[in-house]
Amino acid sequence: MPSIPVDVLREILEYVDIDDLAILCIVNKIFCSCSQDVLYREIEDGDAHVVQKSTDIARRVRSFATKHSSPELATALRNMSSLRSLELDGVRDESILDGCTFELDSFETSFPYFESLQNFLNSQPSLTELSISRCLPNLTRVKAFPSLLRILIPGRPVRVVIILSPWRIDSTDLSFFTLSTTSLL
């Protein structure tokens, strides 16, 4: 039987059900490798224990999301060298990012703002999407464009606001000013 070219096989496997991909892993080495590329590309609500067991599997992960902190998470993240999207919700130890070599396009976290988070963000030149919740809880002064003020003011004790405006301010909805936890000066 003539073999299927690997690039064609990879394209076909994109449309195969996850349960069937797992079964295809036992056909042969090529099927196993190509199936694992698809199986482990995106891990949602991930358990780091699964990824930590194999550096080969960890290198296949492109997108990882977890709400679970575990001792294995730091090692698993360090092994995910091809990771491009990371969501860490509920994980409280920002030091798990120390030593990670991946370059993210997208990062979402609920880490509080610490120097290690700043160092990590500075090491991510390809980062284009960033979502940081529960960050900057004590922000009292802010200088930003209105679109950013809508994000920064609510739930924080912002007292002083300097609005940067490219040309004009959309005055139709400035209600976000009232969402500061303290009075504006």
How do residues 67-101 score in pLDDT, each as one tens digit?
878 778 888 899 999 999 999 987 878 788 989 99
The residue segments making up the domain with residue 163 are 136-185
**Same-domain status, 71 and 113:** yes
**Residues β-bridged to residue 144:** 163
Same domain assignment for residues 121 and 176: no
With beta carbons less than 8 A apart as the criterion, state whether 111 and 94 touch. Answer: yes
Number of domains within the chain: 3
Question: Quick check: 124 pLDDT over 90?
Answer: yes
**Looking at the whole model, is its pTM more than 0.85?**
no
**Statement to judge: residues 27 and 52 lie in one domain:** no
Contacts of 131 (CB under 8 A, 6+ apart): 107, 108, 109
Q: Given pLDDT bands bounded at 50, 70 and 90, which one contains residue 1?
A: very low
